[in-house]
A and B are shown apart, each in its own frame.
Chain A
Amino acid sequence: MADNAAGVADTFPKLLLRNAERFRSLPAMRHKDLGIWFTWTWAQMRDEVRAFSVGLMELGLRRGDKIAIIGKNKPRLYWAMCAAQALGAVPVPIYADSVADEMAYVIEHSEATFAIAEDQEQVDKLLSIADRLTHIRMTLYDELRGLRDYDHAHMMSIDDVQKIGRDKLASDPGALAQWQAEVDKGSASDLAIILYTSGTTGRPKGVMLSNANVMISADNGNKFDNLTEKDSVIAYLPIAWVGDHIFSYAQSYMAGYCVSCPEAAETVTEDRREIGTTYAFAPPRIYENLITLTMVRMADASRLKKAMFDYFIEHARKWGEKILNKEPVPLGARIIYGLGEFLVYGPLKNRFGISKVRIGYTAGEAIGPEIFRFFRSLGINLKQLYGQTEASVYITAQPDGEIYADTVGKPNIDVEVKVSPDGEVLFRSPGVFQGYYKDPEKTAEVKTPDGWVHTGDAGFMDEKSGHLKIIDRAKDVGRLNDGTLFAPKYIENKLKFFPNIREAVAYGDKRDFVCVMLNIDLTAVSSWAERNGVVYASYQELASHPRVYDLLRGHVEEVNRSLAEEKVMAGAQIRRFLILHKELDADDGELTRTLKVRRGFIADRYEPLIKGLYEGASEVDIATEVTFEDGRKGTLGARVRIADVMPMPAAPMEKAA
């Protein structure tokens, strides 16, 4: 068989071979180690993957086998995916931070025969569940450190696997052809990968994606944003997450751009700055952290610097987005913005490591409009995207020039989106998954026979812009007694975007009106209190202070005003609120471990407060059992005030103190 596979590149290994010819000496992957960036060109990466793949073949990996990959973003873990795919085996990436129990479930459910672990930490986890893994034949690891003295009967380093592969290729002239034949057997409809979704309820489900699913979606994404081999990304999000698989693997293979792996999780910002990535992807909290870090540093800066910073940031707030959207802007404002770019925006973006970012995406959860606008005002093309594992990521995204802080954009290329009569968002696209692995029942629940997929999210199409708005999980959306749509998370998120509000819990399903319980953010509110001469001795006292109530009432009214602007939501404005006397805490079961509020549990636990909210009381006494950090329990008694809010958005707003 010839060296060059004939026909189209319809699998990732075929793409790799194509890229090795087409982009030969362009960088395919970088990794920082010992303070130095190491680079592999496409041709070098092909050699590495091929040696790895032939090594795996020698060790007995066969077509249809599953191979579990556990660890952070390391070149060799990405190579493992392609090396397995070359033989027709299916990679199953697993979250590096998953506990041994979850790991055991996924590995056993996927029937993986090989496990590839990044380091000792992951190997130790695997060993601790070894008796439950009935299919695993061998564990391969990337980093030797700490593993030297382990029993190597069923363990081997990736180095050694590659050596086996290289030796085989050198000693057996038929080996290359044999491997090439395996690659050629692959087709577009073959399973490319199984991604287990970390379900909030029940066991994780294995989402099966074919080569065509992943490749067409990645290609459409590339077209949507004009990504080419000249772009560059840094891979730092979990490899088991569909987003990383598309951005750091599939799109790179399709477009030929370089993927850089950071030195450590803590050095990502610094590494990103050194590489100068052009395409960025991050969940909202990463952007939030960047702003917080900046604000903290500015608080320590000299008066002159601070004044300069404040002036130009304010100017950017006013004009930056307009300039980015190419709207008409007066010349004077442009000149000052240009000066600001030189003095503030440029250096700031350089600090963040995003000077060269052409396209930045945020997804995963709702981003605060303030944060979103902050980055856009600096001239960064930050956009929102809505996607799912079941869709090979892309459902909707914001096209350049059509950016609204509260929408998730228009359907991507080849994607159809519709909203069912009960408000649930459905989509159909070439990226639609094949099914859940070994679970046809669940597949049937989600995927209709004609290819539509239920997202489980409630949303609506915005009439003005034609963009999709997501409001909540469909199962959480309820109705008020008068039939008005009630989306608790939508309201809670709007409240939580105020820095003074740490947590919000909204009630309204099967009730007459909407009420919320709030948690103040101690850092933000205490700093406000200091500046405004509010004296307090404890969290509880601060939370119940009348002026804090006034402060938060202002925020609630602001939320009501924005709700009133949307036809679907206008009826579900907040009528009454209270500030809880203690912080909601995962140790008390009020939050999940991923810090999501458990609405039902909180309603039961604070039943007297709920009663007070809906029966018109102005004060309620409550005693709550709390769990201290050391596990002891105690009782916290408090008198909680309840405040009324005017639902009329047109009413003059009470000034926050």
Chain B
Amino acid sequence: MRAPGGPDARIGDVLLSVENVSLSFGGVKAISDVSLDIRKGEIRAIIGPNGAGKTSMLNVINGFYTPQRGRITFRGQTRSKMRPHEAAEGGIARTFQNVALFRGMSALDNIMAGRTLKMHKNLFWQLLRWGPAMAEEVAHRREVEEIIDFLKIQDIRRVPVGRLPYGLQKRVELGRALAMEPDLLLLDEPMAGMNLEEKEDMSRYILDANEHFGTTIALIEHDMGVVMDLSDRVVVLDHGIKIADGTPAEVKNDQAVIDAYLGVAH
């Protein structure tokens, strides 16, 4: 729950900006000429009705889709094309609308997997699992344990994630994304299919991650209450077009947004 108005010390310069991006699949226009920016340290929500182009936008940001037009600037570097692994190495992590974890592996191993990009010893040392590779693993394990402590999942550390209830799987997924120590964390519907209590928990973790690790977060969410409480700024998409952008209060009272959500004919 953010204090309304006033400059927030948390929020810094623009971290990522999307300029005039358009994306289409054959004849279907998923995104048309959308510009938006994400500032360092903020929680930025992308909302809109079904098929508005929200997930497409996340996929453009992390390089999974290449837009036909427009520019993306991340940490001062402009590009029109990037591969997902480059995005990951560049400091963008994400979670998915459907849980995408290694089901047979424990929660601990799943989160450890998030550290892969941070491990520098080569395969030989890692297979040997001795000397410098061991020291490296111990250091990473410590980071991972911090995250386990942070997400309060100590009790499921050793449990294969396939056996966990959905709400906890989502939490492990968040843990794996945090383990990458991302500059920008993309959350695709982090609370889809959760009950009220699970949603409250997850909101708490998102806010805490933002505060504790200083992680910049962009999220897609349908629950308006959650969005309004969590985010610093909200961008609203409808049919691939940006129809509003501003603080939760501004967006809530925007006529175009009200129309889009109430389903008024265009």
Contacts and interface: CB of A to CB of B under 8 A. Distances in A.
A266 B211 contact: no
17 contacts: A34-B142, A34-B145, A34-B146, A35-B141, A35-B148, A35-B154, A36-B145, A145-B208, A146-B211, A148-B211, A148-B212, A149-B211, A264-B152, A264-B154, A264-B155, A267-B154, A270-B155
A145 B212 contact: yes
B208 A33 contact: no
Contact of A267 (B141, B145, B155, B212): B155
B157 A35 contact: yes
A263 B150 CA distance: 12
B149 interface: yes
Interface string B33-65: 000000000000000000000000000000000
Contacts of B211: 146, 148-149
A378 B141 CA distance: 38
Interface string A264-287: 101100100000000000000000
Nearest to A270: B155
Contact of B150 (A145, A148, A149, A266): A145
Interface of A: 33-36, 145-146, 148-149, 263-264, 266-267, 270
Contacts of A267: 154-155
Interface in B149-180: 149-150, 152, 154-155, 157
Contacts of B149: 33-34
Nearest to A263: B154
Nearest to A267: B155
Contacts of A148: 211-212
Contacts of A34: 142, 145-146, 148-149
B155 A35 contact: no
Contact of A146 (B141, B155, B157, B212): B212
User: Which of A35, A264, A266, A267 has the most CB atoms of chain B within a 10 A radius of its CB?
Assistant: A35
A145 B147 CA distance: 12
8 shortest A-B CB distances, which residue pairs? A266-B155, A34-B145, A267-B155, A263-B154, A264-B154, A35-B145, A267-B154, A34-B149
Contacts of A149: 211
Given A34-B148, A264-B152, A267-B154, 9 more contacts: A33-B149, A34-B142, A34-B145, A36-B145, A145-B150, A145-B208, A149-B211, A266-B154, A267-B155
Chain A contact residues, majority secondary structure: loop
Contacts of A146: 208, 211-212
A36 B138 CA distance: 12
Interface in B102-155: 141-142, 145-146, 148-150, 152, 154-155
B143 to A, nearest CB: 10
Interface string B192-220: 00000000000000001001100000000
User: Which of A34, A36, A266, A267 has the most CB atoms of chain B within a 10 A radius of its CB?
Assistant: A34
A267 B141 CA distance: 19
Contacts of B146: 34
B132 to A, nearest CB: 22
A263 to B, nearest CB: 5
Nearest to B141: A35
A311 B154 CA distance: 35
Contacts of B154: 35, 263-264, 266-267
B159 to A, nearest CB: 11
Contacts of A36: 145
Interface string B245-264: 00000000000000000000
Contacts of B157: 35
A145 B212 CA distance: 7
B166 to A, nearest CB: 18
B243 to A, nearest CB: 33
B130 to A, nearest CB: 21
Nearest to A269: B155
B138 to A, nearest CB: 11
B204 to A, nearest CB: 9
A36 B141 CA distance: 11
Contacts of B141: 35
Contacts of B152: 264
Nearest to A121: B204
A35 B157 CA distance: 9
B49 to A, nearest CB: 26
Contacts of B208: 145-146
Contacts of A264: 152, 154-155
A645 to B, nearest CB: 43
Contacts of A145: 150, 208, 212
A35 B107 CA distance: 13
Nearest to B147: A34
Nearest to A144: B212
A267 B153 CA distance: 9
Nearest to A36: B145
A603 B154 CA distance: 46
Nearest to A120: B208
B4 to A, nearest CB: 16
A346 to B, nearest CB: 21
A350 to B, nearest CB: 15
A148 B212 CA distance: 8
A36 B150 CA distance: 15
A286 to B, nearest CB: 15
Contacts of B212: 145-146, 148
Nearest to B10: A149
Nearest to A265: B155
Contacts of A35: 141, 145, 148, 154, 157
B68 to A, nearest CB: 43
A121 to B, nearest CB: 10
A34 to B, nearest CB: 4
A568 to B, nearest CB: 46
Interface in B4-38: none
A173 to B, nearest CB: 39
Nearest to B155: A266
A33 B148 CA distance: 10
Nearest to A147: B211
A34 B150 CA distance: 10
A258 to B, nearest CB: 21
A124 to B, nearest CB: 11
Interface in B67-122: none
A207 B145 CA distance: 41
Contacts of B155: 264, 266-267, 270
Nearest to B158: A270
A266 B208 CA distance: 21
A264 B154 CA distance: 7
A33 B154 CA distance: 9
Contacts of B148: 34-35
A261 to B, nearest CB: 13
A408 B145 CA distance: 44
A270 B159 CA distance: 12
A270 to B, nearest CB: 7
A114 B208 CA distance: 27
User: Which of B150, B155, B208, B211 has the most CB atoms of chain A within a 10 A radius of its CB?
Assistant: B155
A270 B153 CA distance: 13
B11 to A, nearest CB: 13
